[in-house]
Structure 1
Amino acid sequence: MRACVPAPVAAGEPSRRSLLSVGVGAVTVAFGATATPAEALAPNATVTAPLQTARSGTGPATFTSAAAVDPVALASAMIRHDTGNPGDGALTLPHARMLRHLFEDAGARTETVETPKAGNVHFFARVPAAGPTDKKPLLLLGHSDVVPAIGDPWTVDPFGGEVKDGRLYGRGALDMKGTNAAFAAALVRHLREGARFDREVIFWSDCDEEQGSHGVRWLLDKYPGKVEPGVVLTEGGWILNQKDETTPMLASLTCSDRRAILVQVETRAYATHTSKPNEGQAVVRLGRALELLGDFRAPIRPNALSRTYFKELSRATRDRAFAAALRDMLSARTQPARNEAGERAIRASGHPELHNAMMRTTLAFVGADAGYYTSIIPGRASARMLVGFLPGGDDPATVVRGLRELIADHAVLSVVARAGETEQQALERFTGYLAVPASTVDTDIFRMWRRAVTVTHGKVATTAAQFEAVTSAVPFREKGIPVYGMYPYTVDRDALRRMHGTDEYIKVEELRRGTETVYQLLAQLRVPRGSGSATRGREGATGG
């Protein structure tokens, strides 16, 4: 193992104390200028009051603490580090140094682990158990890298970390520097309060989650035994409001990820001069194939986790038409009846894109290529799309065969495999990913999450769920380690649509409330001072 030992503070670099100076009643962070722009934090930024919400009969409690770090200021500082991952890893070392200052100031042990790409590092902070324990660690797994902010125009600086009209804008605000900030701020607050936990708590910020080959799986394979958690908390389930957009409706903790396979659609003709266009132009043929694929709708086939989620959603929603459509979908005895009810539910949903992905196989078009000179009609045109699958849903080989037949008169469809891998081998590997069992809900951490959410979000319904995307959870689930996904704040449709899109944002007060949710979960791991053993926690060691 090769680790980056924390370096001495360089000239022009802020000290840990200047980064995080604790005051009375609030925490003030005097971010100074750093030696290089890449390492710059937030000049003159201030971490102000934590979440303050009035108590009501059904609403959340009031949360204040002199030890709290404002997650909004922290997330803003994270965003100002451009950790865009172009596909081969991001520059995360300056971001890791900022986290090192934060955690070391609070008394945690930290470590950075280098990858083969210079400046691309994993960051760890560890808080040991209070004493001897038979409980395995809780891992808070986030990621420092973000998708690039290029191609589509933003109205704000994607790496400015600007707060405007109650929203924090920037690439990664939602995915997932907001949640990373919530994890970090909640854990640091406990440390500043002198907390001792009934098990080790590990904070890990992965550097290659979005793209790249040096992410979680790489590190676990390269350093066996380095991270052996009992339970993992990472990104995943959402908290949704009723259609009034103010009343929490349903909080979900995801126990499984969808997976997607990349396919290419290609047409060929003959290249020629633009003065003599032919009828079978490659671009035109590609357009016809894409139109057919764009109209494709896979059958509605929610898996077991999605059925659990939609059952709870039908009970939680106040929209009677939506609830009825969900009940009809779940009780349908034929595929046509299930398709009709599912489409009705999607139309009635306040989050149609999210719920569509939890019901069926989907196609997402991610790129196209044709032409290279204005006086040449190209002889080739291609497009790429991700075919997303639910575990326990459609068979990938069958879907690929059906899509291939659908466009056979216009284009050729092929699975993008790894180097030296046949299409059949790629499909077999992918099918194996889909066969990884979902995480059990019979753990103390799952129950603690339920209690924490009801503290911060009132009488909100809670459920296990299927995540609509993919995370770094698979290597842990393959080993039978429970992994739960959470974005601990409420989101509306607009915010979800901007995830990986333009003007990505998170609502400021929701980030603060979500941080309190994480804090309340971790509070259930605390042991009393003077306790002789860390095993004397709130619950037994079940599952974690």
Structure 2
Amino acid sequence: MHKMMKLTLASGLMAMATVTTLPAWAQMQAPAAQRSAHEQAARELYRTIVGFRTARGHKQVPAMVSYLKGELVKAGFPESDISITDYDSDGEPTQGLMVTFRAKGKPKAGPIVLLGHMDVVEALPEDWERPPFTLTEEDGYFFGRGTLDNKYGIASLSHTFIRLKKEGWTPKRDLVLVFSGDEETGMISTRAQAKFVAETIKPALVLNSDAGGIRLTEDFKPIMFGVQAAEKTFATFELTVTNPGGHSSRPRADNAIYELASALKAIEAYRFPVRDNAITRGSFAELGKITPGPLGEAMLAFSANPADEAARATLLASPAANMLSTTCVATMLKGGHAENALPQSATATVNCRIFPGEGGAAATQATLEKVIGNDNVIFKLDTDVVESPASTLNAEVLGAVKAGVHARFTDMVIAPYMEAGGTDGMHYRALGMNTVAISGAAMRDADMFAHGLNERIRVEDFYAGLDHWYLILKHLAN
């Protein structure tokens, strides 16, 4: 679940008769520009892994794992340092991949674990303007499912390992790639890998490629590098109302659909209390400096005094509101069994993103029950909830991030933030491992299409980001 704050045309024209026989996306596709050998290698790796349909139901993760292993072995990694683990993810086979870049001699510091996920959200070709599982270069962008979430991270980390190995570089501490196979669904591989890492590798740092990155303005001006240091707790509830029903010609006072609708309207109207922590205060302090007008002023005021009512009101009316509190929203609905019968049951799915330290799923359910005020509405927790604390952006990681980011953008503001979505990182934090996400991606809000149609990343940002992990790992392990 990649969570960021998240081409030129071919110079040689095809003959018109040929062009008109191709679909629109193919007419626009351009070959890769002249690039260095390592850039071309990175593009080829990226192109190949985007081509694996690693969405649930297609069982393509093992094929992608096999490809990545082959590339790493060709680069010089011994098979003994590559581990592939099979998992059953809610009835579907998947795999996890772990690769160790070993220090020479006695390590000078504790290991660093690097996270990414190989699976993607499904993309239906009939809904897309271009084939979702073909890397398409068009109008200055790479299009395709996973081009951001999270095959960009997988490609960046894998290519960096291959590049460093081919250069003959040796780290002074162990570096370990840990790629999961079902982050977008059951996270079975994620949980197992996190447990193994905590018990066996015992890392000094865990760095995630699936969030964070450079925020661009609408005219592509870089304004901030976000370090994801906390995540809200993900919890989904099913709310159900039942009654005996009956014939639709004889309406009764207690209609299950109406009762459920009233409950959902109560949830819609409720606002959880405003909360803050060091991560959100620090985030607003930096965002406020680069956000113009009253919103920027409110960010600065809130960071200095979270009790400032005027600042709260301004932030709550803005897209920044999800950083201020727990949120719960209805996402799915079903009810009734026949058009001429009163409903015997009605069920809604309500998804909550719970502010860290808020008391978790149990406290959130208790609040919703009180807000609804109807004992006929039965709650069922539909997720295996993982509550994780906030991480810290320590001096070692901050120095490494500066090495990676300031090489591209001098004096770029670097600030922590809290993710409203969820990543593999939550499971590592929950087991006590300090985990921050520092993707090299650069993106405008208008280009954030992760999980949606026509997912994309700018071509120039793909290539510019290839040194991101290269510089960070050299800084941390030299």
**Same structural fold, with TM-score higher than 0.5 when normalized by the shorter chain:** yes
- Residue in 2 that maps onto 1:156: 130
**Among candidates 261, 286, 292, match of residue 319 of structure 1:** 292
Q: Distance in 1 between matches of 2:266 and 2:41?
A: 49
Structure 2 residue aligned with 1:104? 73
Change in 2 beyond 3 A, CA 1:245/1:412 = farther
Residue type of the alignment partner of 1:522: L
Distance 1:414 1:488 in 2: 41
Summarize the alignment of residues 121-136 of structure 1 with structure 2, pairs less than 5 Å apart: 121-136=95-110
Q: Could you tell me how far 1:395 is from its partner in structure 2?
A: 6.2
Against the structure 1 CA distance between its residues 407 and 371, is the aligned structure 2 distance closer, same or farther, given a 3 Å change threshold? Answer: same
Alignment of 1:330-345 (within 5 A): 330-332=303-305, 334=307, 336-344=309-317
Structure 2 vs 1, CA of residues 105 and 365 (structure 1 numbering), >3 Å: closer, same or farther?
A: farther
1:287 is matched with 261
List gaps (5 residues or longer) in structure 1: 1-43, 51-64, 347-351, 419-425, 527-536, 538-544
- 2:64 matched to which residue of 1? 95
Q: TM-score, normalised by structure 2?
A: 0.82
* In structure 2, C-alpha distance between the alignment counterparts of 1:308 and 1:445, rounded to whole Å: 16
1:482 aligns with 2:453: no
Cα distance between partner residues in 1 of 2:349 and 2:43: 37
**AA of the residue aligned to 2:131:** D
Gaps of 5+ in 2: 1-28
Matched, 1:115 2:71: no
Q: Mark the CA change 1:403 to 1:356 in structure 2 (over 3 Å): closer, same or farther.
A: same
2:218 is the alignment partner of 1:253: no
CA contact (8 A) 1:72 1:508 kept: no
**2:118 aligned with 1:144:** yes
1:208-237 alpha-carbon deviations (Å, 9 max, x no partner): 222225323223546875533221111222
Of 251, 260, 268 in structure 1, the residue corresponding to residue 242 of structure 2 is: 268
Confirm or deny: 8 A CA contact 2:288 2:297 kept in the other structure.
yes
Match of 2:38 in 1: 67
SS in 2 for 1:195: coil
Aligned position for 1:239 = 214
Q: Is 2:445 the partner of 1:504?
A: no
Check conservation: 1:289, 1:410, Cα contact below 8 A: no
Correspondence list, 1:75-474, <5 A: 75-85=46-56, 91-109=60-78, 110-116=82-88, 119-149=93-123, 153-212=127-186, 214-221=188-195, 225-234=199-208, 235-242=210-217, 244-278=218-252, 280-315=254-289, 317=290, 319-332=292-305, 334=307, 336-344=309-317, 346=318, 352=319, 355-393=320-358, 396-409=361-374, 412-416=377-381, 433-434=386-387, 436-474=388-426
Shift of 1:176: 1.0
> How far 1:283 sits from its partner (Å)?
2.6
TM-aligned CA deviation for residue 358 of structure 1:
1.9
- Give the AA of the match of 2:83: E
Instruction: Kindly indicate whether structure 1 or structure 2 has the higher relative contact order, using CA contacts under 8 Å at least 6 residues apart.
Output: 2
Structure 1 contact 264–416 (Cα < 8 Å) conserved: yes
Other structure's SS at 1:322 match:
helix
* Pair 1:278–1:158, CA change in 2 (3 A): farther
The count of corresponding residues between Structure 1 and Structure 2 is 444
Partners of 1:397 and 1:294 in 2: CA distance: 19
Percent identity over the alignment? 22
RMSD (Å) for aligned C-alpha atoms: 3.1
Secondary structure (helix, strand or coil) at the match of 2:440 reads strand
Find the residue that maps to 2:213 and give its secondary structure.
strand
